[in-house]
Structure formats: C-alpha cells, structure tokens
Chains A and B, each alone.
Chain A
Amino acid sequence: MTGIEFYVVVLLVYLGTDLLAAWGLNLEYGISGVANLAYIVVIAAGAYTYAILSLGPDSGNGGFQLYVVGWQLPFAVAVIAAAAVGALVGVIIGVTGLKRIRQDYQGMVMLVISLMAVTVVGADTGFLNGQAGLSLIPNPFSSLSPAVGDWAYVAMVALACVIGFFVMRRFTGGPMGRALRAMRDDEHAVAAMGFSVIRLRLMSQAVGGAFGGVSGALLAAFIGGWSPGAWAYVETLALLTAIIVGGMGNDMGVSLGTFVIAVLLLQAVQFLPQISSHTGLTEALGWIILGVLTITFLWVRPQGIFKERRPFYRSPGETERSAPGDSATGRVAAPRA
C-alpha cells in the first residue's frame, strides 16, 4: 500500500466515524435541542469499552498498561457493547441536564462534565491507564495483509454508516423527528400536549450516545490506541461546527458539514508550512478557523448551508388527484426547503 493510498484510507475512516458521531450529536442538538457539549465523552466511552473488551487481560504484553475488565470478546460483540455503554453514558449525561435550566446553562453544565471526565480518567492509572491511555487495541482485520485489511476496514465503516443513516432517519425524519423538533422549539408546550420531556430527551441522548459509542469503537480499533489526548472538549466543538455549517436538523447538510470540516478543513491546515518561530501555530489555526466559521454562520446564516427540510402535506382533495408515486411518504410530498 502506497503512502497516498494509506492516507486516503485514514481519511475515509475518519470521515465515516465522524459522520456517525455528527449524526448522533445532530439528533441531540439539532433535532432535540439538547446542547450536549459533553458529546465527546460518549465517543470516548465507546472507544474505551471496545478496548477493554477486546484487549484481553492487562497482564498481557508484559503488563505495561493497566485497565479494568480485560476481556477478549469478538469484534461485533465489543462494538455492540460500546454502543450500549455510549447510550448509558449519554443517558447519565442527559440526567444532569434534566433540571429545567436554559439551554446555554445546560451547555455549560455538560462542558464541565466533559472536562471532569477527561481529568478523572487521566488521573487514575489503574482504571484506563491514565494519561498514557491504551494501546495495541485489536483491529479485526489485522490477520489480513495491510492493503486488504485497511480497505476491508473502510468497507466495514461504510457499511456502519449506511446502516447508521437509515436507523437515524427513523429518529430525525417522520413523526419521531417531528415530536423531537417540537420539544426543541418549546418543551413546555410539548409537555402540555402529553409528551414526557424527560423520556424524549433521554431517548434522544441514548440514541445519540449509541452512535457516539460505535464511532469511538470503530476509531479506536482502527487507530489501535486511545488516550485522554484524543477526547478533549474541543472535539465536540468540531462536530458542532460541522452541524452548524452543514445545517442543523438536516441529515444531508450535517453530512456535508462533516466532510468539509472534519476532512477538508482539518486536513488542509496540516499542509500549511510550519513556522519555526511559532511551533503549533498550524495546528491551532485549524481550531481558529473552526471558531470563526461557527461565529460567521451563527451570524450570517444560522440555518447552515442546507436549511432544515419542511415536509409538504397535501390536502385531502389534492391526494385524490396525486399520482400513485407521490404516496411514497404517505401524505407527504417532496420536502421543501
């Protein structure tokens, strides 16, 4: 495998895992209105879960790293467990935001959770090997040649994205998406209609958390390592920027935003020449551009590149006149921007 081919593989795996995470966060923030600035925690929970369920006992490899559990489960089982733990952590984070506080305060609470989580995990070496993190996390295709194994991994991530997209559409589109968007717009009014806001919110954060968990697991298995440096709070802000730029509440817009931000932008800055007098400036430039983009879009085009789609319902008379093909989405004709 050539260097450029490997680079493409890395980009595609990053894109796929970022897409899963961005869809999950979009469900929570863009659709349900929960400002989950601790979203990276569920990704980390998925990554660590996969690691400790697939690495085997920590006495292996000379016992150079310490961690809990230490099972050696099949890849699929470990990924499903990562999704479950992501969902559980999502719900636990969600509980902290249930107190009826404004969305900006809710975001602040979750940001603090994110900072606390990374500090706690980094401080305890016996739990998940502290700041050094976990390495030698198994790749399911490691027995294949690198050329085949890497592309097989890309195919598997692509499959996860296709499945993930259709699963996510059940929640973001159709009646469930409608109920969640109603909650986003006015949680008191939605409670006055008989909906349990607590249930809706926690469901949204469980599903979003499961997506984050799978994303983390697939990323950790590909990279082969995971440490607190990989899940700083700014990673959530990168996903948030992708959602704001692409179009909150619009699955296609979020996908485009993820491609532009997570792949094009953050990779492009790495090709800028290093300035010897300011080491680290190039890397920081990526985050600076992200911040500027977020502020610019919130000012100039808060709906993002693609607006949230508006379903168009035909009146009973129109339905009788409509062609059979129009009934593909029930009484809903093509969405309008």
Chain B
Amino acid sequence: MSFHASHDEVSGGVTSSATQVAATNFGSPILKVTDLVKQYGGVRAVDGVSFEVQPGTIVGIIGPNGAGKSTALTMISGFASPTSGRIEFGGQDVTHQPMHMRARQGLVRTFQIARVFDGLTAIENLIVAVPNQRSLTPMGLLAGRRYWKQEEDAIVDRAYHLMETFGMGEKANERARNLSGGQRRAVEIMRTLMMRPKLLLVDEPMAGLNPRLTHQLEDIFLELRAQGLTVVLIEHELGTVERICSEVLVMAWGKIIAQGGMAELRTRREVQDAYVIG
C-alpha cells in the first residue's frame, strides 16, 4: 500500500477552498460546542462540555472509559439530542438539526463499531455515500441511466482510486459482510471521505487495526489535514493522538478536565489521576 498518491486521491477531492479556509481562518471555529449536557436519569454522561475546533486541525478527545467522549460525539453528529447546550457548525446553530441534515452540510461521523452496509459490496458502500447524485432525483428515476451514467462512472472511478489508495482495490467487489474488521473500518472511513466532509468525527478509528494499518491511517489523516479537512478524533491509542493531533481534550466524569498538546498533558497530574481512578 502506498500513501504517496495525490491528496485528491486520498480525500476523494477535498476542495481547495477548504484548504484556504484552513490556512487563514483562525478565530472563526468550524465547530463550537457550548455547555453541552446529556443526562440519563440521575446520571450526567456529559456535564457542561464546551470547546472550539479550528478549521484544518485534528483535535483528539481522550479519556478513560465512561468519560462521556462518545456521548459528546454522538450529540455533535446529531445521532442523539443534548439535554441542554448549543452546537454550532460553520457558524450555524445545528443543535436541533437531525443527523442527516448535519451530514449534508459536511458534518460527518463514523461509529465506534464500524457500521458498513453488509449487503452491498465494498465499492457500493463508497458509491452510495456520494451526496446529491443525479440518479436519486425524480428526474434521474424518470429519465434512467442516460441521465446519470456519466456522473456514476466518475463516482466509480473516484471510489476505485480511494480503495486502491487504501490497498483494497482487489476487495472492491466483495460483499462488505465478508470483510475483516480492519477492512470494514477502512470502508467506513473511505465512505465518509466520498462525502467530501468539512468536519469528520471519528470514534476510535484505530480500534482493531494492526500497527501497520494504524500508521497508514495516521498518514491518511495527516494528508487530509494538509488539504484542509478538520477532524475530531476519539482515540485510546495515545501514541496515535500524539503523532497526529494538534490539540487534545481530556474528558473524565463527563467534563473536559484538561486540554493542550499531548506531550504536555502526559505530565499533568489530573490527567494521570483520571486514567488511574477514572
């Protein structure tokens, strides 16, 4: 597998305008979370979390199990509603928007356990993710293949390039249910890239991957960042977080207890306590 392909191949073509935003736009966050709370009965799984994410950065969220990391990500993506708090994406309040509306605006997530469409082939998993396809419009249904064939061919090309970049070209026509855990994870990530997201929320992407694949995925995230993609990443593998994240949030007991660079955080007493006690 090689990751020396062009950036456009890796991302499926993240726009250059996104790169410009990344290079210049500090002070105008792509994601702003204010006082986010999620309460289940008497338990506050997320308890007043606030943070901002600048465009073109990779922000890591770490913390012990049960810290509220995945719950926070679930609310940001729209999969669950917050009990209170506010979520802004690209300057817009999206707190009460359903998940599919946020996804259409470029706020895209992966799941803690990779969720692929088992009945589709690997490449179909990628093709289906491309938004606003002509084939899915009423006109596309009426007019048939001639109306959307050219676009579909271009999407298939993009999907193949992406799969080859991930070293999975030979698996393109394999049913997703027959893929290994690592391959399923890769398909899920490629699927999100086909959507050309602005902000990618990834929940433990390295879980279940062997060290070689982990390093390859790290390289991919770094290349995507270079193109302007913003990533918020929950990860238990602290080495990965240190290598790719410019900013790290530490969560414990539903709150953000520290934030900064990974090297600095390793020395902080409250972070060490959270991992030992939490």
| A interacts with B | yes
CB distance from B147 to the nearest CB of A (A): 11
- Against B, the Cβ 8 Å flags (1 = close, 0 = not) of A242-277 are 000000010000000000000000000000000000
**Taking the complex as formed, is B35 at the interface, i.e. its CB lies under 8 A from any CB of chain A?**
no
Complex: how many Å from CA A138 to CA B120? 46
**Taking the complex as formed, is B90 at the interface, i.e. its CB lies under 8 A from any CB of chain A?**
no
Complex: how many Å from CA A60 to CA B80? 58
Give the chain B neighbours of A185 by CB distance below 8 A: 116-120
The answer to whether residues A194 and B195 also contact, given A181-B117, A188-B115 and a CB cut-off of 8 A, is yes
Q: Which residue of B lies closest to A169 (CB)?
A: B144
Q: Please determine whether A316 and B157 come into contact, CB atoms closer than 8 angstroms.
A: yes
The answer to whether residues A193 and B149 also contact, given A171-B141, A181-B120, A185-B120 and a CB cut-off of 8 A, is no
Q: Please determine whether B173 and A312 come into contact, CB atoms closer than 8 angstroms.
A: yes
**Taking the complex as formed, is B250 at the interface, i.e. its CB lies under 8 A from any CB of chain A?**
no
Contact pick for B123, options A191, A197, A308, A313, CB 8 Å: A313
Complex: how many Å from CA A330 to CA B128? 16
Complex: how many Å from CA A336 to CA B127? 18
Give the chain A neighbours of B101 by CB distance below 8 A: 194
Q: Which of B55-63, B132-140, B226-234 contacts A (4 or more CB under 8 A)?
A: B132-140
Contact pick for B119, options A191, A249, A331, CB 8 Å: A249
How many interface residues does chain A have, given as a range?
35 or more
**Taking the complex as formed, is A196 at the interface, i.e. its CB lies under 8 A from any CB of chain B?**
yes
Please give the number of chain B residues whose Cβ is less than 8 angstroms from any Cβ of chain A in the complex: 48
Give the chain B neighbours of A193 by CB distance below 8 A: 100, 103, 108, 128-129, 131, 191, 195
Q: Is the contact region of chain B dominated by helix, strand, or loop, or is it mixed?
A: helix
Q: Please determine whether B108 and A315 come into contact, CB atoms closer than 8 angstroms.
A: no
Contact pick for B116, options A174, A184, A189, A336, CB 8 Å: A189
Tally of A-B residue pairs with Cβ under 8 A? 113
Give the chain A neighbours of B172 by CB distance below 8 A: 313, 315
Q: Please determine whether B100 and A191 come into contact, CB atoms closer than 8 angstroms.
A: yes
Q: Please determine whether B115 and A189 come into contact, CB atoms closer than 8 angstroms.
A: yes
Q: Which residue of B lies closest to A249 (CB)?
A: B119
Give the chain B neighbours of A190 by CB distance below 8 A: 117
CB distance from A178 to the nearest CB of B (A): 5
**Taking the complex as formed, is A237 at the interface, i.e. its CB lies under 8 A from any CB of chain B?**
no
Complex: how many Å from CA A175 to CA B159? 15
Give residues 158-190 of A contacting B (CB, 8 Å).
170-171, 174-176, 178-179, 181-182, 184-186, 188-190
Complex: how many Å from CA A181 to CA B157? 22
Q: Which residue of A lies closest to B122 (CB)?
A: A313
* Interface set of A (CB-CB < 8 Å, partner B): 170-171, 174-176, 178-179, 181-182, 184-186, 188-197, 249, 308, 310-313, 315-316, 319, 329-331, 336
